[in-house]
A and B are shown apart, each in its own frame.
Chain A
Amino acid sequence: MSLTLEQVQRIAHLARIAVSPEEVHGVMERLNRVLVLIDQLQAVDTTGIEPMAHALDAETGIVQRRRVDAVTEPDRRDAFQARAPAAEAGLYLVPKVIE
């Protein structure tokens, strides 16, 4: 199937990426080329095949490890917030959300 301009804007909204009116046609055209590529998958019969979510589950039987439910990380809030575009008094600053 191929995407319409409206669908492209809807996907861009879900992805929180602004797509300008000038670029939306080009974006749609290239996305539709990729959709032609991935639409090939629809023709494959996969009845009874389990989806593979982990790269090693096929043959090795390796499953993802669980960790102990315990605090293991030190508090590095100041180091992390030093990288923020805007932070103050231990808080990340964003535009007002609630009036």
Chain B
Amino acid sequence: MLNSTLTELSAALARKELSSVELTNAFLNRIKKLNPGLNAFITVDEARSLADAKASDARRAKAAAGPLEGIPVAHKDIFCTQGLRTTCGSRMLAAYDSPYDAHVIERFAAAGAVMLGKTNMDEFAMGSSNETSWFGPVRNPWDAGLVPGGSSGGSAAAVAGRLAPAATGTDTGGSIRQPAALTGTCGLKPTYGVVSRYGMIAFASSLDQGGPLAKSAADLALLMNAMAGFDARDSTSVERPAEDYGRELNLELKGLRIGLPNEYFGEGLDPDVRARVGEAVRWFESQGAKTVEIALPNTALAVPVYYVIAPAEASSNLSRFDGVRYGHRAKDYTDLADLYRCTRAEGFGAEVKRRILIGTYVLSLGYYDAYYLQAQKIRRLIARDFAEAFRRCDLVMGPTAPGTAFAMGAKSDDPVQMYLNDIFTIPAPLAGLPGLSVPCGFDAAGLPVGLQIMGNYFAEAKMLGAAHRYQQATDWHLRVPSGTPL
């Protein structure tokens, strides 16, 4: 049961072989057993989860049920949940009880899903290793000495360790795809504007996008059907008709044009990652897909562009945390200005403060044009590179991350080394494009490698179709981490 896909669990629930209460209990027990080691969850409320499950079983007894009815889903602790604290991995919000639910939370509730708990994350989603959380680091189920990636590291570790059958995450520069790659799970960052940001605590608003993590591409499609959709409360929510993200799961691979960017296979790429991604691409070729060499010449500029734009937006977004309206307030201060300064010094961790300071600097008088405006111009060049590439191919494939999971502490002293881990995941959100990561094998140490598939705007169904076809022929996505056997 713990290793089943959502499709299988949904079928078992429909056949009444299993109740939602039994299913929820199985995952709650798994959490009780493994979470003390993994630290994947910040908050679990068993009574609430079981109440959700009971209500679901009652609904099922009365009427036809949708595919997520009774399925437990874990939520990244960046999505506001009424009655269940929402911390965003920060001391600033360590005791925050949101007065409303995020749109994504409403959607899963409407689909009948069970709230399984809130997952750990890098503080305010700023990090690539889940080491910046105020609630302690998350450990990788494949090896407890390694990071799970970040910032949605708790969600990825929960799915990988079979503590949850599915989870939500958010991706600003790779925060869904990179942890998915480092834990051997699947994660999708949708096109900007597809999933409402209402109630999703803001980091960099022109980049932030919610998305699902799960064991398979078909499961991601089911989750997207619940998560995606227009919401008037998010001014950047895209008004499009509802779509079935599973409609292209049987995608015809013959004649599919796969773009391979030279820049994604250059120096600095781990040889095992290169080999596994190459093997996956060759499998697609064996099914009749055609590979096309493409150029994304501004790839190397994506990381510096991101580290101007994201901190600039963060410095503005996080100015709301002032110790007055909600969240942490310092105990000792002299006057109002000191209340702000001390509250923010105590409430934010080192990485969050660093990004606020960088953002403040690049937006300040005399530096705005040279940094912020220049970064926005190069952002357009990066988007143009992709537009040019998608004239010649249907999907782009490459590695999700330049290496596999790294040791805890290995990069935490040098912010730039940490930032460079996101070199292949940062370009898609800068262009607003969708990207997903699926497992495609292991390195010599037995650690999972992620294949990244990027598509044009709103091409999620096609990307999921390609990934699903690959998963019909491989079983990388069903391998259970050695550190958390069933």
Taken together as a complex, chains A and B put the C-alpha atoms of A85 and B414 apart, in Å, by 35
A50 at the interface (CB under 8 A from B): yes
Q: Is the CB of A86 within 8 A of B329?
A: yes
Is B97 in contact with A41, judged by CB distance below 8 angstroms? no
A18 lies within 8 A of chain B by Cβ: yes
Shortest beta-carbon distance from A31 to chain B in Å = 6
The distance in angstroms between the C-alpha atoms of A97 and B324, with both chains bound, is: 14
A41-B378 in contact (CB<8A): yes
Q: Is A56 an interface residue (CB 8 A)?
A: yes
In whole angstroms, what is the CA distance A58 to B457 when docked? 11
Chain A residues, Cβ within 8 Å of B305: 41
Interface of A is mostly: loop
Chain B interface, DSSP helix/strand/loop, else mixed: helix
User: Scoring A residues 14 to 46 as 1 if CB is less than 8 Å from chain B, else 0, what string do you get?
Assistant: 111111100000010011011011111110101
Query: Is A18 touching B344 in the complex (CB atoms < 8 A)?
Result: yes
**Chain B residues near A80 (CB-CB < 8 A):** 99, 325-326
- By size class, the interface of chain B is 35 or more
A14: chain B residues within 8 A (beta carbon):
360, 364
Determine the chain B residues whose CB is within 8 A of the CB of A40 once the complex forms.
301, 304
**Chain A residues within 8 Å of chain B by Cβ, number:** 53
Contact yes or no, A38 B307, CB < 8 A: yes
Q: Does B387 have its Cβ within 8 Å of any Cβ on chain A? A: yes
CB distance from A84 to the nearest CB of B (A): 6
B114 proximal to A (CB < 8 A): no
The answer, among A17, A37, A44, A53, for a CB contact under 8 Å with B374, is: A44
5 pairs of residues in contact across A and B, judged by CB atoms under 8 Å: A51-B379, A54-B206, A55-B432, A58-B387, A85-B327
Known: A18-B342, A64-B236. 20 other contacts (CB 8 A): A16-B319, A31-B358, A38-B304, A46-B377, A46-B381, A49-B378, A49-B381, A55-B192, A55-B206, A56-B193, A62-B238, A64-B235, A65-B235, A65-B237, A76-B99, A83-B97, A85-B324, A85-B327, A95-B335, A95-B336
